[in-house]
Amino acid sequence: MKLTAVVVCLFGLCMVNQARSTVMEQIVVTGTRSSIDQSDSPVSIDVISATQLQKLSHGTLAGALNYIPGVVAKRNAKDGYTVQMQGFDENHVLILMDSQPLISPTGSAVDLDQIGVVDIERIEVLRGAASVLYGSSAMGGVINIITRKKSENHLKLKYQTSSYTQNNIDSSDIGHQIQLDASQNILGWRGNISLQKIEDPGFDYDPNTIAQSAPSTDKHFVNLGLSKQFDDAFGLSLKARYFSDDKQKQRYEIPGQAGEISYLSEVERWQYDLALNQGEVWRVQGRYINHLETSGDSNSLRDADITLMEIDSQYLWNIEDLELVSGLVLHTDELYQIKNATEQGASGTVEIDDKARDSVEAYTQLSWQLDEHEVLAGIRAQHDSEFGWHSAARVNALFSFSEFQQQQWKLRMGVGQSYRVPTLKERFYVFDHSNLGYMVLGNEELEPEKAVSANLEITYVKQLGNSNRDLSLSVNTHYSKAEDFIETVTDVEATASTGLLISRYSNVEEAVLKGLDLSANLAWGKVDYQLSYSYLHATDHNGSHLSDRPTHQIKANLDWQLPFDIHGLIYLVYENGSYPTAQQLGIEKDDWSSLNLSLSQSFNQNWHWVAGVDNVFDNHQNTDAVAAGLLDVRPLSSRRVFAGISYQFY
């Protein structure tokens, strides 16, 4: 769909307006590490609520974040989902859960399809750098998944089914999703349990080929929580999260043989969280995650054992107009990876030999409230067992201008540093395919990637006429200059001499990423509109455009309360202007759009249903063109119809 058509469509929608305001002030924590109203946050934060998540997701966060303006959702080579923000790729967007990091099975990127939505209270999205508060990888933005802390006693059961319609592998294939969510207070202790099972049969564009487009998956999520709030505001929380995922996808016939090679992935992950706090004065959080993964093509499987341990402590001082938050973080990453032997009795090939990285990080951020204005200044220092000392500093400011005639202007600005430390894979990887002509090697001399960035955002909020009509406009500009980007680079000399393609991770890239985000929200009675446009100009040190990033992105959402308390949601995503990589031979398609519809209704306090269609026009990648080396930005996606029903017991 062309840009003009999208705009016309949006204005068309705007003509159909009913009246209902849904403006609700959200509490956010990501920008300051303390609770604050979303509109008062000195750092711009977008929020997806639990209710919206249930409408947008199919059990995991995959795809749901596409709802947020400026966020670019991507499907990676392992059929996982990641996001880009402000031109930074998935390795430079930090995904947190309750302000602590998660396992990154691929590079520095968390797979959003491995995060269930059942016990999520909200998702906070911070666009721009935030390394001062969160350290490595927070260069393009931070997505902080806030799990549920408080809830009434409840027991809820949900079932949802789905079909990929004409792209079904077998015409009778349907997907299943079952959720059980319960919370109970007993003797002052709150217990939570949520169970979720997702069976997805996968899809295939061309049944005449062996290659399957998307894998069949079988995911299980188990979340257990126990917490108590004591009289003196002292709180204790224990959580255990279990996740497993089995994927399978046929890929190739075996040359010269009758069999086939499939992509397989088996993941099992345990996460344990312990949190102690006294109100917001102090907090100590501990996290341990162990991620076991066997994945790869069936003739070339790898085992990975990834461990993350972190203790994050924080203290908050309030002295009149000053608020000081300081913290100390102890962090350890461990990684062991082996390519399995293909013969019985033979040993595998160790690709990363039980390597570890430890860091001690300290941060402090001072907030100074000047009437309605606020200035933030923070610094973070990190001592890493591998890289020594690093630091980042940043200043943010919020200026709230005259509030009269029910309108308000806010100016947010920030400038500072951010960084990403090399992963263990980037440092120690040995991928030896010399018999096939290439090798990929880690580099122990890698330095952290660094960036200096600046953001400027102006927002305008006006209440139109009465209390249920609101208009919100925002303009956000961003500029980042990044250096020492880590890429796999062909070692020209070694390649020329050996006849092998020798690639190694190196600090080589410099990049300038700048752009503009425009957003408009209109709450008009029973209809909420959201329209956003993002522009990106991202170039490397040669002035060449960075690949795989859309230059233009438009998102439009329409949330409409229909008669009989039916909610309708329409959201549209349009992107264009991506550039091919140096390895790609041309462009098959550099723009795409997706239209998603859903309806939901609560019959009463117990029964609720939802139904809809994702990717209505079934816009998807041409896998033949991609295999032929062409750029096709359309996602590996399919039209999907779905319907679900839930019952709340109490």
Partner 1 sequence: MNKNFILGLSMVLGALMSACGSSSSNNDTETGVTPDPAPVEEEVVEGEILGPFTTGSTSEPKSVYFDLETATVLELTDEEAAADSQWDIAFNRTQVSLNTHADNTVGTYLTDVNSDFYDDQGNVLSEMFLNADADSELEDYLAISADDAPSDDAYSVDSEEYVIGDKFYNYDFTTHVVSAADDAYFIVSADSAYTKFRAKSLTTSGRTMATITLGIQHQSALDGETEFASEIDLELDATACDTGIYVDFDLAQTVNQEDAWDIWIPCLTDEDIIGADFQIFIADDASALLDGENSYVGIDSEAAQYYGFQSNLTSVKAFAATPWYQYNLNGGHLLWSQYGVYLLKTSTATYKLQITSYYDEAGTSGNYSFRFDELSAE
Binding site for partner 1 (CB under 8 A): 251-252, 254-261, 297-300, 341-343, 346-349, 432-437, 439, 491, 493-500, 502, 504, 627
Nearer to partner 1, 347 or 604 (CB): 347
- Please state, in angstroms and rounded to a whole number, the distance separating the CA atoms of residues 604 and 646: 11
Nearer to partner 1, 467 or 581 (CB): 581
Q: What are phi and psi of 590, to 5 degrees?
A: -115, 20
Q: What are phi and psi of 173, to 5 degrees?
A: -65, 130
Tokens at 188, concatenated: 């002052």
- Span between the terminal Cα atoms of the chain, in Å: 45
- Please state, in angstroms and rounded to a whole number, the distance separating the CA atoms of residues 2 and 574: 9
Sign, CA torsion 165/169/171/173: negative
Task: Report, in Å, the least distance between residue 255 CB and partner 1.
Answer: 5
Task: Report, in Å, the least distance between residue 254 CB and partner 1.
Answer: 5
Nearer to partner 1, 273 or 491 (CB): 491
| Cα–Cα distances in angstroms (integers) from residue 464 to residues 406, 461, 495, 580, in the given order | 8, 10, 66, 45
Task: Report, in Å, the least distance between residue 448 CB and partner 1.
Answer: 20
Show Cβ contacts of residue 352 under 8 Å, excluding neighbours closer than 6 positions. 335, 336, 337, 424, 425, 428, 429, 430, 442
Nearer to partner 1, 37 or 354 (CB): 354
Task: Report, in Å, the least distance between residue 625 CB and partner 1.
Answer: 12
Task: Report, in Å, the least distance between residue 297 CB and partner 1.
Answer: 7
Q: Which residues of 267-298 are buried (b: 16+ CB within 10 A; e: fewer)?
A: bebebebebebeebeebbbbbebbbebebbeb
DSSP classification of residue 19: B
Helices (H) and strands (E) in the chain, counts: 6, 35
Show Cβ contacts of residue 467 under 8 Å, excluding neighbours closer than 6 positions. 21
Pairing of strands 438-441, 501-524: parallel
Nearer to partner 1, 504 or 608 (CB): 504
Task: Report, in Å, the least distance between residue 256 CB and partner 1.
Answer: 2
DSSP classification of residue 286: E
DSSP classification of residue 106: B
Nearer to partner 1, 319 or 627 (CB): 627
CA angle 540, 541, 542 (to 5 degrees): 90
Task: Report, in Å, the least distance between residue 23 CB and partner 1.
Answer: 49
Nearer to partner 1, 4 or 257 (CB): 257
Task: Report, in Å, the least distance between residue 436 CB and partner 1.
Answer: 6
Nearer to partner 1, 127 or 249 (CB): 249
